[in-house]
C-alpha cells in the first residue's frame, strides 16, 4: 500500500528531504489559513450570552413597529 503526499499527491517514497520540507511547509501554511478561517467562522457563529440576547431583543422591539397592527 502506497501513501501519497497531501500536498503534491506523489508517493511519499519518492520524496527526498528537500521535497519533504517543501511539502510540509506548504501544508503548514494551508493549515494556518484553515485555522484562521475556522476561528473567523466561530466568531460569526458565536451564541450570544443572556445579557447580549436580552439587549438585542430590547433594541429590536423598541426600534420596529408592532407586527400585530396595533401601532
| Domains of the chain by residue range | 12-63
Distance, CA of 20 to CA of 4 (rounded, Å): 12
Distance, CA of 64 to CA of 18 (rounded, Å): 63
Phi and psi of 9, rounded to 5°? Answer: 65, 20
Instruction: Express each pLDDT in 11-67 by its tens digit.
Output: 999 999 999 999 999 999 999 999 999 988 887 787 888 888 888 888 776 655 555
Return the pLDDT at 61: 62
Q: Tell me what pLDDT residue 52 has.
A: 85
Q: What is the pLDDT of residue 45?
A: 81
CA 48/CA 59 separation, integer angstroms:
15
Find the farthest-apart pair of alpha carbons in the chain and give their distance in angstroms, rounded: 76
Amino acid at each position: 500500500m502506497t501513501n501519497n503526499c497531501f500536498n503534491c499527491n506523489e508517493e511519499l517514497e519518492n520524496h527526498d528531504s528537500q521535497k519533504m520540507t517543501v511539502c510540509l511547509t506548504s501544508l503548514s501554511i494551508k493549515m494556518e489559513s484553515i485555522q484562521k478561517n475556522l476561528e473567523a467562522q466561530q466568531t460569526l457563529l458565536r451564541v450570544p450570552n443572556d445579557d447580549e440576547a436580552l439587549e438585542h431583543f430590547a433594541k429590536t422591539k423598541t426600534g420596529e413597529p408592532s407586527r400585530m397592527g396595533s401601532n
